[in-house]
């Protein structure tokens, strides 16, 4: 990554959006990983969140995917699904994350955020939700009739 440089890296990651800021953060993160962590990605949320551009959600994804830790990364889809369905209502992303960790059975913790993201992307979408195709419609606290 460092050999590419920020400009070339930005060109490569341009399709994912916000390339100038992301490429800068990636280059700076690479430098920090080499200098402070012997080139290894740290395995604690605290250390991850000290890296440029890494917040709680990204740290949770890294912990879950890279270190096999049972975390739940709450993005916009997970936040919406957890609140809309009544599964884990919360006014903040953190409140929703903590509630999801509390109510999700241990055997599902490793993959829960993936299932919730996919459900929010394809079934329980922001505007065009499809309750008739929903696999949890009977358990859901939301119905199309109550939508405003």
Does residue 54 form part of some domain? no
* 95 shares a domain with 36: no
Distance from C-alpha of 27 to C-alpha of 15, rounded to nearest angstrom: 18
Does residue 67 form part of some domain? no
Provide mean pLDDT across the span 71-81: 96
Distance from C-alpha of 3 to C-alpha of 76, rounded to nearest angstrom: 34
CATH of the domain at 138: 1.10.1670.10
- DSSP class of residue 25 equals H
- Confidence band of 147 (pLDDT split at 50, 70, 90): low
Among 60-74, 85-99, 116-130, the least confident range: 116-130
Q: Active site residue: 22, 57, 91, 138, which one?
A: 57
* 36 shares a domain with 88: no
* Residue 147 token pair: 């939508």
- Quote the pTM value: 0.85
* 135 shares a domain with 89: yes
Give the length of the chain: 148
Q: Active site residue: 24, 69, 75, 110, which one?
A: 75
pLDDT tens digits for range 33-53: 999 999 999 999 999 999 999
Does residue 88 form part of some domain? yes
- Confidence band of 128 (pLDDT split at 50, 70, 90): confident
pLDDT at 71 over 60: yes
Q: What is the pLDDT of residue 138?
A: 85
Domain, as residue range, for 81: 76-146
Does residue 82 form part of some domain? yes
Distance from C-alpha of 95 to C-alpha of 136, rounded to nearest angstrom: 22
pLDDT at 135 over 60: yes
Q: What is the pLDDT of residue 130?
A: 85
Domain tally, the chain: 2
Q: Contact at 8 Å (CB) between 23 and 9? A: yes
Known active-site residue 75: yes
Q: What is the pLDDT of residue 148?
A: 45
Q: What is the pLDDT of residue 11?
A: 95
Q: Where are the beta strands (DSSP E) in the chain?
A: none
pLDDT at 74 over 70: yes
Distance from C-alpha of 65 to C-alpha of 11, rounded to nearest angstrom: 26
Known active-site residue 38: no
Left, alpha or beta for 103 (phi > 0: left; psi -120 to 50: alpha)?
alpha
Does residue 27 form part of some domain? yes
Provide mean pLDDT across the span 14-32: 95
Q: What is the pLDDT of residue 131?
A: 86
Count of CA atoms in the C-beta half-sphere (13 A) of 42: 19
CB atoms within 10 A of CB 85: 20
* 34 shares a domain with 94: no
Does residue 114 form part of some domain? yes
């Amino acid at each position: 990554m460092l050999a590419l440089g920020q400009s070339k890296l930005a060109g490569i990651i341009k399709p994912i959006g916000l390339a100038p800021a992301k490429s800068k953060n990636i280059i700076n993160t690479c430098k920090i990983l080499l200098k402070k962590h012997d080139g290894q990605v740290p395995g604690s949320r605290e250390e991850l969140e000290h890296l440029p551009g890494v917040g709680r959600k990204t740290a949770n994804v890294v912990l879950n995917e890279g270190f096999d830790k049972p975390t739940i990364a709450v993005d916009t889809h997970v936040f919406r699904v957890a609140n809309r369905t009544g599964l884990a209502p919360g006014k903040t992303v953190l409140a929703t994350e903590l509630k999801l960790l509390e109510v999700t059975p241990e055997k599902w913790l490793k993959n829960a955020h993936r299932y919730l993201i996919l459900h929010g992307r394809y079934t329980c979408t922001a505007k065009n939700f499809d309750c008739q195709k929903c696999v949890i419609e009977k358990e859901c606290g939301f119905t199309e009739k109550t939508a405003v």
